[in-house]
Amino acid sequence: MDDAELERFHALLVGMRDELKAAGDLRLDPNRVDPVAKKDDDGQPLNEMHQAISSSRNRNRAASLRQTGRGGAGPPRSRARGLRPL
């Protein structure tokens, strides 16, 4: 890989990291928001499914952020001098 390719991949990773940070976590809505409201037995399984999906997406998002790194946003060093973290 030459310096131009390293620079291109670095820019892609920084863009991905910034996009993930800007999107934020998905909200997990509680099963019941009003304690006096009539219980809806049909709505609870659906809400639990939405909670599981949101939790999984948040976990995957956090893993992606860890993989893209958290360091500086400057261009990478050449291979001969070693790569610096994102």
Every domain of the chain and the residues it spans: 3-31+40-68
pTM of the model: 0.55
13 vs 53: CA distance, rounded Å = 25
Per-residue pLDDT of the chain (86 residues; tens, 9 = 90+): 788 888 898 888 888 888 888 888 877 777 666 666 666 677 778 888 888 888 898 898 888 888 877 544 445 554 445 555 55
| C-alpha angle 28-30-32 in degrees, rounded to nearest 5 | 160
Q: Which residue has the tokens 């890989």?
A: 1
12 vs 1: CA distance, rounded Å = 15
The pLDDT of residue 22: 86
Q: Which two tokens stand for residue 37?
A: 């409201």
Classify 75 as helix, strand or coil. Answer: coil
Q: Which two tokens stand for residue 27?
A: 């909200």
